[in-house]
Amino acid sequence: MHNAETMAKRILVINGPNLNMLGIREPQTYGTQTLADIEAMCKAEGKRLGLTVECRQTNREGEICEWIQAAYGKAHGIVLNPAGYSHTSVAIRDAISAVAIPTIEVHLSNIHAREEFRHFSYVSAVAIGVICGLGAAGYRLALEALAERLGA
């Protein structure tokens, strides 16, 4: 018999560039929580929902693509905050499209209420949903949505 850990649906939470600076970077826009705070909340929320959550952060676009590709056949869902790469990365968009893993795009701030160049995201077209402007709660909501979709 499998234990609960091996039976849990696996979710990969990926945070993109500059999110390692949360708590320091523009707290009026991004809040005072650190990335470690958000990752701890994601893991606790995952446990509550019966999900196994793994969190990663990088400032490198190619590394995000490699993590998405490596998740093929291993992860059941992805929560992705591509940060600045949302508006520039066809490569990340194509990686998500290639693996066909249900992905929810999350942004701490409301990208539509900010500078014009932030209003468009390449990732949105291949995500099953987008959550923006709700701060760290967006990650919790994304995990809840994935758990419901996956029947976790």
* Each residue's pLDDT expressed in tens, for the chain with a length of 152 residues: 344 445 789 999 999 999 999 888 666 666 678 999 999 999 999 999 999 999 999 999 999 999 999 999 999 999 999 999 999 999 999 999 999 999 999 999 888 887 787 788 999 999 999 999 999 999 999 999 999 999 97
139 a catalytic residue: no
Tokens of 133: 């402007």
User: What pLDDT score does 1 carry?
Assistant: 35
The model's pTM is 0.91
User: What pLDDT score does 28 carry?
Assistant: 67
Burial class (CB in 10 A: 0-12, 13-18, 19+), 17: middle
User: What pLDDT score does 125 carry?
Assistant: 96
Q: Which residue has the tokens 């999110």?
A: 19
Of 30, 85, 122, 139, catalytic: 30
User: What pLDDT score does 144 carry?
Assistant: 98
Of 76, 85, 107, 139, catalytic: 107
85 a catalytic residue: no
User: What pLDDT score does 24 carry?
Assistant: 81
d(CA 149, CA 146): 5
In this structure, CATH architecture of domain 4-150? 3-Layer(aba) Sandwich (3.40)
Tokens of 131: 């959550």
User: What pLDDT score does 7 carry?
Assistant: 74
Domain boundaries, the chain: 4-150
- To the nearest 10 degrees (0 to 180), the angle between helices 137-150 and 35-49 is 30
User: Could you tell me how far CA 10 lies from the centroid of its own chain?
Assistant: 13
